[in-house]
């Protein structure tokens, strides 16, 4: 979270906003001069496609408890974006997917994460794991537009619906 860190991770002293001449902007800096860089994280996800539609999950955790989205989560150091997307899909809905291509990259100025979303082939039946209240297969006409979890969910599903509409 932006602004949530108040101590330097390197030396433990207090951080304060300070203008960095060479970068032309304010950053969090400690008295030793260590700069805490706050940049967006990468969230990787998949749209697991079936013959009829797509698997979505209803979140069992905050934020956006009870709202629908696709499986996605923060990328870890030690894995590729593709590996992160597949891992999150397995963890959240129990599907071992094969990625078939990049759907798109979603970002906006005020967001703290960049979303990288892949199309995936899903065989078998998804199951709700710890972070899902339920999972359901949706056809393009059934997407629950009023109950989507995030702006990135909406944008990815809009792209998916226009893709599916063309086949």
Binding site for Zn ion (CB under 5 A): 8, 10-11, 30, 32, 34
Q: Provide, for the chain, the percentages of residues in helix, strand and coil under a 3-state DSSP scheme, each rounded to the nearest 5.
A: 20, 35, 45
Q: Which is nearer to Zn ion, 11 or 61 (CB)?
A: 11
**Nearest distance in Å: CB 1, Zn ion:** 20
Q: Which is nearer to Zn ion, 19 or 65 (CB)?
A: 19
Q: Which is nearer to Zn ion, 26 or 123 (CB)?
A: 26
Q: Which is nearer to Zn ion, 7 or 145 (CB)?
A: 7
- Start-to-end CA span in the chain (Å): 41
**Nearest distance in Å: CB 16, Zn ion:** 11
**Nearest distance in Å: CB 112, Zn ion:** 23
Reading the block at residue 74, the tokens are: 């923060």
**Nearest distance in Å: CB 36, Zn ion:** 8
Residue spans of beta strands (DSSP E) within the chain: 16-20, 25-29, 35-36, 41-49, 54-59, 68-69, 72-74, 98-106, 113-121, 132-138
């Amino acid at each position: 979270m932006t602004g949530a860190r108040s101590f330097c991770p390197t030396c433990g002293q207090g951080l304060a906003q300070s203008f960095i001449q060479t970068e032309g902007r304010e950053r969090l800096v400690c008295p030793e001069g260590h700069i805490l860089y706050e940049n967006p994280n990468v969230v990787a996800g998949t749209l697991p496609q079936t013959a009829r539609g797509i698997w979505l999950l209803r979140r069992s955790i905050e934020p956006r408890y009870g709202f629908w989205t696709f499986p996605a989560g923060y990328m870890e150091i030690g894995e590729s974006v593709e590996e992160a997307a597949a891992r999150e899909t397995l963890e959240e809905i129990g599907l071992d997917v094969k990625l078939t291509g990049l759907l798109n990259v979603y970002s906006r100025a005020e967001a703290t994460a960049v979303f990288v979303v892949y199309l995936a082939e899903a065989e078998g039946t998804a199951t709700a794991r710890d972070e899902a209240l339920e999972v359901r297969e949706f056809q393009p006409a059934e997407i629950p537009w009023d109950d989507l979890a995030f702006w990135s969910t909406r944008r990815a599903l809009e792209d998916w619906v226009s893709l599916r509409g063309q086949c």
